[in-house]
Structure 1
Amino acid sequence: MALNSAYEELGTRFVQQYYDYFDKRSSSSAELAALYADEAMLTFDGELRLGRQAIMTKLLGLSFTTDARLLTSVDSQPLPDEGVLVTVIGKLSVDDSVINYSDTFVLAYVGKGLAITQHIFRTVTA
């Protein structure tokens, strides 16, 4: 069982890149899609999407525009076969309101690079 010793750095760099593409998803959709494995899974506030195309349909169909993002915490752990588990807690400023959220990613080697294989996004209400 090989563990990735650079898991913290990989997790932090991934989160920065992912949110950059996500927040500009209308103009960076190809870059965002490339982060997902073909058979990836996304659960977005309880709604499951299977496969890169279904995930992108969901993400590109979101009607909100991110005005600002605050990352409260980014935690990463190494997974077997050099994968990385990444959990994010943050706040989005969207359309004059603030949304608390949790975002969890499983990154695994697919081919020669890391890709998102599982992704769970959940808004958090008090």
Structure 2
Amino acid sequence: MDALNPQFEMIGKQFVNHYFQLFNTGRNELASLYKDVSMMSFENDQCKGTNQILERLNKLPQTVIHKCLSLDIQPTHNNGILILVCGDIVIEENKPLKFVRTFHLLPSMTGEYFIFNDLFRFCIN
């Protein structure tokens, strides 16, 4: 069986805090967390690679605040980490909306984690 990272929970929590901090302070800094093989689904938009993903994220209004309400983290094969974030998102001065976001992290050749898969959905009826 593949090795599972015993520190998956700690790494996952640190990653989520880091990701949303960068998202709120300078989205272009998120480029270091993606690779050319990364994929993101944002609602109905599919993006592949760092450039397309950042282009999509930068289309969002400048003021976006995420509040994580729950976090589920599991190890995956090959030292990967699967993260499910549920929370509230406030875009500009609007009322909070519910969202769910899933990250699948994989270790790079240097041992640092990058986002292989990123899925985002608003939870709207």
Q: What's the TM-score once normalised by structure 2's chain length?
A: 0.91
Report the counterpart of residue 73 of structure 2 in structure 1.
76
Please say if residues 41 and 47 of structure 2, whose CA atoms lie closer than 8 Å, have aligned partners that are also in contact. Answer: yes
Task: Give the CA deviation at 1:14.
Answer: 0.2
Name the CA distance, whole Å, in 2 between partners of 1:2 and 1:37.
Answer: 23
Task: Give the CA deviation at 1:96.
Answer: 2.5
Deviations 1:49-86 (A, max 9, x none): 011110000011212512x4321101100011111000
SS in 1 for 2:96: strand
CA RMSD of aligned residues (A): 1.2
- The total of aligned residue pairs comes to 122
Structure 1 residues not aligned, in runs of 5+:
none
Q: What's the TM-score once normalised by structure 1's chain length?
A: 0.91
Report the counterpart of residue 3 of structure 2 in structure 1.
2
Which runs of structure 2 are paired with 1:95-110 in the superposition (5 Å)? 95-110=93-108
Q: Within the alignment, does 1:88 sit opposite 2:85 as a pair?
A: yes
Report the counterpart of residue 16 of structure 1 in structure 2.
17
SS in 2 for 1:22: helix
Name the CA distance, whole Å, in 2 between partners of 1:69 and 1:117.
Answer: 21
Task: Give runs of ≥4 in structure 1 deviating > 3 Å.
Answer: none
Deviations 1:77-107 (A, max 9, x none): 0011111000000001222211110000000
Report the counterpart of residue 120 of structure 1 in structure 2.
119
Name the CA distance, whole Å, in 2 between partners of 1:10 and 1:71.
Answer: 16
Name the CA distance, whole Å, in 1 between partners of 2:34 and 2:46.
Answer: 15
Give % identity.
30
> Which letter does structure 2 place at the counterpart of 1:71?
C
Report the counterpart of residue 50 of structure 1 in structure 2.
48
